[in-house]
């Protein structure tokens, strides 16, 4: 929590001004009204980017780090470049930092001011990530927040909270689960969840 939010840069387009949101809503209504688009299809598209496309990219990064020590070393040294090796780069991911969970440390990512999020590896942020309660409570009571997401962290584990900005986007590298030695990269990637890469879950 070292960065200064006073300079928080909002020209990255992640949090549209309300008039932009209204324009989008108006366009959506018009398209539905004219029969150009099915609202269910729109929901499906958003769901696709929030749950499928986005987080699966991050899961592949995690699985590669678990299976390839040289990649992991590059990832920890320069996450933006290492992630780009897998083809994930661009908007909202220009300066990525990976923080590693261990048996002694658990990392949690938040954007206290708005909703900065690593789009190339996680897709669209979930609604709760952008909510005021999460943004404030993740800092004040990270353990409580993580518990509400269903994970009771051991008492002796240190919790570190990372505040994303327009300049730096964090990705949590979860700990590889025990008993997965025989699994290949694809199977390992399937174990990794979006919440695990935000830190509201361990995996």
Cβ closer to Fe ion: 116 or 145?
A: 116
Dihedrals φ, ψ of 145, to 5°?
-65, -45
Among residues 1 and 147, whose Cβ is nearest to Fe ion? Answer: 1
Considering the complex, state which of residue 7 and residue 33 has its C-beta at the smaller distance from Fe ion.
7
Is 89 among the residues known to form the active site?
A: no
Are 159 and 143 in contact by the 8 Å Cβ rule? The answer is yes
Q: Pick the catalytic residue from 18, 29, 114, 136.
A: 114
Nearest to 135 by CA among 173, 155, 164, 166: 164
Residues at the interface with Fe ion (CB under 5 A): 111, 114, 116
Considering the complex, state which of residue 135 and residue 202 has its C-beta at the smaller distance from Fe ion.
135
* Catalytic residue from among 111, 131, 136, 164: 111
Closest chain position to Fe ion (CB): 116
Instruction: Give least dist CB 199 to Fe ion, A.
Output: 16
- Given phi > 0 = left and psi -120 to 50 = alpha, else beta, which region is 46? alpha
Q: Active-site residue among 18, 29, 89, 115?
A: 115
Least Å distance between CB 116 and Fe ion? 3
Residue 30, CA distances (Å) to 45, 70, 140 in order: 18, 51, 42
Strands 105-110 and 158-163: parallel
CB of 121 to Fe ion, least distance (A): 16
Shortest distance, position 57 Cβ to Fe ion, whole Å: 20
Query: Which one is catalytic: 18, 29, 89, 116?
Result: 116
Number of other residues whose CB lies within 10 A of the CB of residue 25:
10
Is 164 designated active site? no
To which H or E segment does residue 198 belong?
helix 194-198
Contact between 175 and 102 (Cβ < 8 Å): yes
**Which residue numbers are catalytic?**
111, 114-116
């Amino acid at each position: 929590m070292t960065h200064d939010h006073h300079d928080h840069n909002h020209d990255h387009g992640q949090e549209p001004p309300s008039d932009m949101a209204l324009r989008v809503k108006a366009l959506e209504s018009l398209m539905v009204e004219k029969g150009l688009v099915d609202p269910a299809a729109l929901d499906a598209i958003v769901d696709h980017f929030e749950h499928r496309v986005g987080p699966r990219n991050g899961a592949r990064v995690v699985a590669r780090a678990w299976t390839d020590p040289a990649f992991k070393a590059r990832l920890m040294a320069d996450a933006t470049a290492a992630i780009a090796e897998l083809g994930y780069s661009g908007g909202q991911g220009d300066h990525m930092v990976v923080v590693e969970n261990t048996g002694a440390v658990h990392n949690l990512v938040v954007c206290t001011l708005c909703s900065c999020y690593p789009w190339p590896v996680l897709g669209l942020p979930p609604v709760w990530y952008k909510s005021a309660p999460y943004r404030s409570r993740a800092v004040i009571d990270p353990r409580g927040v993580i518990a509400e997401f269903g994970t009771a962290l051991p008492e002796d584990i240190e919790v570190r909270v990372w505040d994303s900005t327009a300049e730096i986007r964090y990705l949590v590298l979860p700990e590889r689960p025990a008993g997965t030695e025989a699994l290949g990269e694809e199977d390992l990637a399937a174990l990794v969840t979006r919440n695990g890469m935000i830190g509201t879950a361990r995996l």
